[in-house]
Amino acid sequence: MTFGGVSKDYGNRSSLQPHTQLAIQTGGSVLSRLPSSTSTVVKSPIYMLRGFSTSIPFARLNMTTITSLMRISAKDLSQRILAERDSAESTYAIIDVRDDDYLGGHIRGGIHAASEQLDALMPTLLRRLEGKRTVVFHCALSQQRGPSAALRYLRERTAKSSSGESPQQEVLVLDRGFEGWRQVYGEDERLTEGYRKDLWGDH
């Protein structure tokens, strides 16, 4: 075949590996799966991407970043907790990824998954949270560990569900973390467990 007057012979493709046969990019054009004959069919990149989206897992990777993760305020989360207080099973889950700083209180009903152990705990979290509509991650301030854990969870969940459908799930980060939470709700026993004000250095 010819691009801009320069002849290029790509030969017989029958001996190439499947991924090589799938697509070859040359001169800005993506070539379709090539038959064993000498004829070559040129198709647009958009056409080819349709095939990639269903056959190659990385095409479905979540493009969310730490800075683009959605956040929830302490007030909104507290209202959700109280609204489902008497429910047999809540529609949300709260994941606290603090490490040694977990002492001194935690959000009622939250799951402690220390960031240092997240690699080992991730498979369990994925199974346990499968049926939840909303998952909220946080650390002390929700600046690094909490958002990183949320992003890691999103990517692991996307990879796990790449071969099938998974229920829609909202993944959020608690704004200002437990520090912001406890300043407002630390002494509210409906919302916070094990709170020890003396450990927080408040005057």
Q: Is residue 197 annotated as part of the catalytic site, yes or no?
A: no
Residue showing tokens 């004829």: 39
Residues 6+ apart with CB under 8 A from 48: 23, 30, 32
Which residue in 93, 94, 114, 139 is the catalytic one?
Answer: 139
Q: Which two tokens stand for residue 115?
A: 């960031």
46 CB burial (10 A radius; 0-12, 13-18, 19+):
exposed
Pairing between β-strand 29-31 and β-strand 24-26 as defined by DSSP bridges: antiparallel
Run of H or E including 33: none
Q: How far apart are CA 143 and CA 145, in angstroms?
A: 7
Residue showing tokens 């001996």: 15
Q: How far apart are CA 109 and CA 116, in angstroms?
A: 21
Catalytic site positions? 139
